[in-house]
Structure 1
Amino acid sequence: MPEKGKVSVIVPIYKVEKYIHRCVDSIINQTYVNLEIILVDDGSPDNCGEIVDDYQESDTRIKVIHKKNGGLSDARNHGMKQATGEFIMFVDSDDWLDKTMIELLVSNSIENKADIVQSAFYYAYEDRLLIDNRYSTEGDSLEILTNKSLMYELVTNKKVKNFAWGKLYRTELISDIPFEKGVLFEDIFWAYQVMQRVNTFLLLQQPFYYYYQRSDSIVATYTPRNLDIIRGLKERHLFIEKQYEELTDASFKEILKMCLIHYNLLLLNRKKDKGGTHRKKIHSYIRDNNSNLKRAVQDERELQRQLFLFSFHPYLNVLYLGLRKGLRKIKLLSKPEGLKQVDV
């Protein structure tokens, strides 16, 4: 039986020696003290194992698990098996928390009888913080989502992100839903399974989570494994068609966006896509689902244009995007609304 009021904070750890102190210290120093801090050393080859052992000796709330490397999903699953709290939080080991985050999430969960509470977050760089305020602002009051509005926000990737972190979950809601092992973007495969169970989802507009942005370029580090995100969206789409039919078009739209992005990334990394195999699969999917995709983007002119060009020839869309980028650079086109830098 989960211990009432206790929060189990699960931190998978792998090759983050440079960041681990900042992360763990931000959890230890929370104003909410009824914590169980589960540090899962996922076979890290650096000094992380020794560092977390030292933490365990200095704080009785800390529980360390050492295991063979199995990836982020496997580490989280091990942590969930050991969790004894009424609530669970996931924190990635290069991120960190505002000291009041857990206290505010717990109090709001109890007060509103919420299954999940999510806070806003910062995109944290070495020299600046950015926030996405396109869909809400920090001054807004909290927002309560019912199941259908929650699924819409999850599918459209606006107010509710697929990230497992940044949210407080009631343990009973998620304890029997493991993360899929062996995939990248595991949160895509997991989040919709959780959200379908939710009656009350609470959004806090204030940012309390710092999502660290490493300097590695996705172009430089790209591999075909990144295509797992498209597979996850397609798996979710099958579920959406059966359970939330009214969101089918919204789901198709997100798949199209991701297909276009990854086609271009594969083009930039042609040596990693021998014979263009993965590009051909994306092209085939868009061709085979063209009528559905056209319907899905009929309210969004920019995507209509990209779909038309891609359907005629994928390289035409690449040329169009390059031209648009150049026009924005010389300020003949306005930049799209995006992230806003905040004062620290």
Structure 2
Amino acid sequence: MLQENRVSVIVPIYKVEKYLDRCIKSILNQSYENLEIILVDDGSPDRCGKIADHYKTTDSRVKVIHKENGGLSEARNYGMKEVTGEYVTYVDSDDWIDEKMIETMMNTLNEYEADSVQSSFYYAYERHNLYDHRYYSREDSPVILNNQSLIRELVINERIKSFAWGKLFKTKLIRDIPFRKGVLFEDVYWAHEVMRKVEKFVLIHDPLYNYFQRDDSIVANYSLRNLDQIKGLKERHVFITENYNNLTEESHKAILKSCLIHYKLLLLNRRKDKSGVHRKEVQQYIKKNYSRFKKAVKDDKELTQQLTLFYYHPYMNLLYLGVKKGLRKTKLIAQPVGLQKIRKSEGVVIK
């Protein structure tokens, strides 16, 4: 039987020795104390397992699971088996959370009688944070979404992200929906299955989660497994057409955006796609679905331009993007509205 008002915090752990103390301490120091903290050591070859065991001896709320390495999805699934709390949240082990995050989310969930709550977050770097203020400011009132609006926002992927972390869920909603094993971008395969069960969702704008951005370059660390994101979006598209047919065009738009990004990354990583077979697959998929994509982006001038250029030749689109980037650097065209930069040491916005 689930413990009323207890929040279970699942932390999958692998090769994060440098960051793990920061993560665990941020959870232990929460103003909301009715917690169960489940640390899942996914066969980490460094000292992570010993660090987790240390916290188990110092705080009775901490549980530790040691298992053979099986990946993030399997680690989260293992943690879910141990949950005894009425509510669940996930924290990735190189991230950390504000001391009032869980209290704020619990108060919000209870006030609005919601099924799930999402807080805003910082893209956290060593010396500064980035906060997405394109749609809301942190002082704005919470946004309440019904199921139809929630799925729409999830597909658009701006205000509502598919990330498992940064959200508080009723345990009963997610306990029977495991993460897909053996894939990257596992959240893309998982989130819509969860959100279809959510009747009321609340979005709060205070950035209470710190999403740590390592110095590792996405280009340097790109692998062919990253293409799992496109596969996940295609799989989700089937779900959308069957259950939310009015969102089909938004789903097509999301797939197109992902394809264009991955084609560029594949080109930058030609050594990992020596024969070009994966680039050809992406190119052929866009050409095959060109009319559907064109219809989906008809109200988006920028995407329409990129799609048209890509259709004639992918390099034409890449040249277009390169020229625009150069013009922005020379300030001949305006920078797009983006993220607010905040210096950590002073807590002030950097213009």
TM > 0.5 fold call: yes
Unaligned runs of 5+ residues in structure 1 are: none
Residue 197 of structure 1 corresponds to which residue in structure 2? Answer: 197
Overall identity of the aligned pairs, in %: 60
Deviation at 1:333, TM superposition (A): 1.4
**Equivalences for residues 117-128 of structure 1 within 5 A:** 117-128=117-128
**1:209 to 2:209 alignment:** yes
Runs of at least 4 residues off by over 6 Å:
none
How far does the alpha carbon of each residue in 1:187-233 deviate from its partner, in whole angstroms, 9 at most, with x for none?
00000000001100011111111110001001111111111111111
Letter in 2 for 1:129: N
CA distance, structure 2, for counterparts of residue 261 and residue 238 of structure 1: 21
Deviation at 1:284, TM superposition (A): 1.0
CA distance, structure 2, for counterparts of residue 82 and residue 312 of structure 1: 53
CA distance, structure 1, for counterparts of residue 123 and residue 221 of structure 2: 20
How far does the alpha carbon of each residue in 1:252-272 deviate from its partner, in whole angstroms, 9 at most, with x for none?
111111101110110111110
Residue 49 of structure 1 corresponds to which residue in structure 2? Answer: 49
How far does the alpha carbon of each residue in 1:158-180 deviate from its partner, in whole angstroms, 9 at most, with x for none?
21101000000000000000000
CA distance, structure 2, for counterparts of residue 150 and residue 51 of structure 1: 38
Deviation at 1:113, TM superposition (A): 1.2
CA distance, structure 1, for counterparts of residue 214 and residue 26 of structure 2: 19
Letter in 1 for 2:250: A
CA distance, structure 2, for counterparts of residue 147 and residue 134 of structure 1: 23
CA distance, structure 1, for counterparts of residue 298 and residue 111 of structure 2: 41
How far does the alpha carbon of each residue in 1:62-117 deviate from its partner, in whole angstroms, 9 at most, with x for none?
00000000000000000001000000000000110110110111111122111101
**1:153 to 2:153 alignment:** yes
How far does the alpha carbon of each residue in 1:117-172 deviate from its partner, in whole angstroms, 9 at most, with x for none?
11110110000011001111111101110000001110001211010000000000
**1:110 to 2:87 alignment:** no
Secondary structure of the structure 1 residue equivalent to 2:161 = coil
Letter in 1 for 2:144: I
Letter in 1 for 2:322: G
Deviation at 1:342, TM superposition (A): 2.7
CA distance, structure 2, for counterparts of residue 105 and residue 234 of structure 1: 32
Residue 223 of structure 1 corresponds to which residue in structure 2? Answer: 223
Residue 272 of structure 1 corresponds to which residue in structure 2? Answer: 272
Moved more, 313-322 or 15-24: 313-322
TM-score normalised by L of structure 1: 0.99
CA distance, structure 1, for counterparts of residue 130 and residue 323 of structure 2: 27
CA distance, structure 1, for counterparts of residue 142 and residue 257 of structure 2: 30
CA distance, structure 2, for counterparts of residue 266 and residue 320 of structure 1: 17
**1:336 to 2:336 alignment:** yes
**Equivalences for residues 1-344 of structure 1 within 5 A:** 1-342=1-342, 344=347
CA distance, structure 2, for counterparts of residue 58 and residue 154 of structure 1: 39
CA distance, structure 2, for counterparts of residue 225 and residue 246 of structure 1: 31
Letter in 2 for 1:196: R
CA distance, structure 1, for counterparts of residue 233 and residue 160 of structure 2: 15
CA distance, structure 2, for counterparts of residue 342 and residue 201 of structure 1: 28
TM-score normalised by L of structure 2: 0.97
Unaligned runs of 5+ residues in structure 2 are: none
